[in-house]
Amino acid sequence: MERTPIAIVGCGGMGRRHLTGVTALSHSDFCNVELVAVCDINQKNAEDLADEAKASLGTRPRVFTSIADMVKAMPEIQGADVPTDTGSHHRAAAECLRAGLHVMVEKPLAITLRGCNLLLEIARESKKILSVAENYRRDPINRLARALIDDAAIGTPQLMIETSIGGGNQLFITPWRHQKFTGTVTLDAGVHNADILMYYLGDVETAYGDARLYEKYRYKTTSGGPGGFYAKWADQVPDRIEATGEDAMFGFLHFKNGALGQWIFHHAGHGLPQHSRYVYGSKGSLTSPGDRNGRPLKLHFDGGVEISDERILDYAPSYRLSPLAAQLFGGERVWTYSFPFVEIDAKILATEYHEFAECIQTGKKPEVDGQVGRRDTALVYALFESGKAGRPVTLDEIESVKLDAYQREIDEYLGLVPVPVKS
C-alpha cells in the first residue's frame, strides 16, 4: 500500500497521543502513512517524540524546530498533522499550507472565526487539503448512534440534550486551557460536543446562550491528563493559576431539521458530575454512554421497552464501520467494545490518519473538512456572542463574523484584526 510521508508538527501531549495513532495504523493491514519528521518550537519535545517514534515504529523521524527548515530539508513530505496548542493553529497550520503541505489540524480549527476563515482561505488558494482531527464522532459507538438516527430507530428527532458538568476548580490538563487568548476549555473541549450535536442531528440554524467564568483560580492536580500523556511536564505546571477564559456555557439550539437542543457545558461544576447525551424522537429515545468508553447505546420505547444489547443492530441496518475501524475494533457492526482508554484513543486516531492519507492520495474530501471545523467552532462562539448580544444568533452570522463582541479582543491580541488607534 502506498505510504504518504507525513510530519507531526506540535509534539506536546496530543502529539504524543497522535504517535500512538500512527503506531496503531502501522500495525494494521491498512497502513498508508510514514512518519518521516517531527517538528516543535520546543526542541526537547520534538526530540522526545522522535525517540518515542523510534521505539514504537522502529525508525526515528527527523527532528526540526521550524516548519520552514523542515520543508526545505525534506521536500518529500506531503502532509502535516498539526496538534499544536489551540491558540497557534491559525499560524502553524497556515505556515504548513503555504509551504505546500496538506494539513490535518487538531480541533478546534482555530481559536476564533477569523482564524478559521483565514485557514479556509489559505487552503483554497493553495489547493491543499484542510482536515480537522475531530475524533469523538469516529468512535464506533457514535457511528452506530448516527446510523440509528438516520435509520429512524427513534422516529423523527425532536430534542437532543447534551450535558457535561464537572471539573470544579481543578486545572484542566494545561494552563493555556484556562486563558481567553490561548483557547479556553469551553472552546477547547466544548468543540467536541458541538461536533457531536451536529454529527447526530445536522447543522444548527440558531442558538441562544451565554457563557461564564466561575472559577477565577484553578489548582493543579496529579492526574497526568488523559491517558497520563502529560505527566512528563507536570513539574512545569504551577500549583495555582489565574483563569481569564470562560469555563461554562449554556445553550438552546434550533437545528435546521426542526429539532431543538439543550446544551450544557459546565466545566466549573461542583457536586454531582454529569455527562449525558439523549436524543428524543417521535417513536422513542436514544441514550448515549459518552465517548471513547465502548459502553452500549440504549434505545427506549413506550411501555418500558429497553434495547441495550446486540438487538440494537436490528434498528440500524445501514451501520458499517470502515475496513480499518472494523479491524481495529473487532467487527464492522460493533455495538460495544472493551479496551483500555489509551488503546481506544490510538485506534480512533489511527482512523483519522488513514483518512488524511487517503484524501492526499485520492483527492477525496475529508469528513471533517475546514467548513465542518468552522461550523463546530461557530457553534461554541454562538453561545458566547449570543450572551453578548442578548438575543438568539444564527450560525451564519457567527461564521461570517458579523458578530464578534467576544472574539474581537482575541483577534486584536493575535493580530487577526487591526487594533483600533485610541485618539
Ligand X SMILES: NC(=O)c1ccc[n+]([C@@H]2O[C@H](COP(=O)([O-])OP(=O)(O)OC[C@H]3O[C@@H](n4cnc5c(N)ncnc54)[C@H](O)[C@@H]3O)[C@@H](O)[C@H]2O)c1
CB 96, CB 80: distance < 8 Å: yes
Using CB under 6 A as the binding rule, whether residue 52 contacts ligand X is answered as no
- Residue with the closest Cβ to ligand X? 12
- C-beta closer to ligand X: residue 12 or 261: 12
Q: Residue 394: how many CB atoms within 10 A of its CB?
A: 18
Using CB under 6 A as the binding rule, whether residue 197 contacts ligand X is answered as no
Pairing of β 102-106 and β 79-82: parallel
**Window 94 to 133, contacts with ligand X (CB under 6 A):** 106-107
Residue 212's DSSP bridge partners are 248
Using CB under 6 A as the binding rule, whether residue 186 contacts ligand X is answered as no
- C-beta closer to ligand X: residue 232 or 300: 232
Mark residues 69-88: x for contact with ligand X by CB under 6 A, - for none: --------------xxxx-x
Using CB under 6 A as the binding rule, whether residue 194 contacts ligand X is answered as no
- C-beta closer to ligand X: residue 39 or 153: 39
Cβ neighbours of residue 10 under 8 Å, at least 6 residues apart? 39, 40, 82, 83, 84, 85, 88, 92, 106
- Binding-site size for ligand X (CB under 6 A) equals 25
Residue 90's closest CA among 419, 420, 418, 415?
415
- C-beta closer to ligand X: residue 84 or 351: 84
CB of 315 to ligand X, least distance (A): 29
Burial class (CB in 10 A: 0-12, 13-18, 19+), 157: buried
CB 348, CB 133: distance < 8 Å: no
- C-beta closer to ligand X: residue 285 or 407: 407
Using CB under 6 A as the binding rule, whether residue 45 contacts ligand X is answered as yes
C-alpha cell at 298: 440504549
* Segment contacting ligand X by CB under 6 A, of 12-20, 336-344, 358-366, 383-391: 12-20
CB 210, CB 386: distance < 8 Å: yes
Q: Which residues bind ligand X (CB under 6 A)?
A: 9-15, 39-42, 45, 83-86, 88, 91-92, 106-107, 135, 173-174, 188
